[in-house]
Amino acid sequence: MKKDTLIVGDVIENVKCESFKDPETSRIRVRPLDGQGLPHKIVIECSTKERKAYPVGTKFRTENVKVCKKTDGRLYLRAKNQMIYKL
């Protein structure tokens, strides 16, 4: 999968991701793993309960993610039904 340009509304199947502690907000967030053609810095919106249930650095997968855009113009990915699954 190569996604040079993310377009709002696009759906990307089976994304592998990991949790990390965002240095700007000190919150646990989720981002795509390298090697999938997705920007490593983009955030995946998903269940807070799932993010906090495992240690930072845990690997997950999503069924799919949808490309979305915040009101300030930042792109992000939203996991289907907000769910991520531990690998």
| pLDDT attached to residue 3 | 54
Count of C-beta atoms within a 10 Å radius of residue 79 = 23
Per-residue pLDDT reduced to its tens digit, 72-85: 989 999 999 999 99
Structure letter (DSSP) for residue 8: T
Per-residue pLDDT reduced to its tens digit, 13-70: 999 999 999 999 999 999 999 999 899 899 999 999 999 999 999 999 999 999 999 9
Beta bridge partners of 20: 29
pTM of the predicted structure, to 2 decimals? 0.89
Confidence of residue 4 (pLDDT cuts 50, 70, 90): low
CATH number, span 11-86: 2.40.50
In the chain, what are the domain boundaries? 11-86
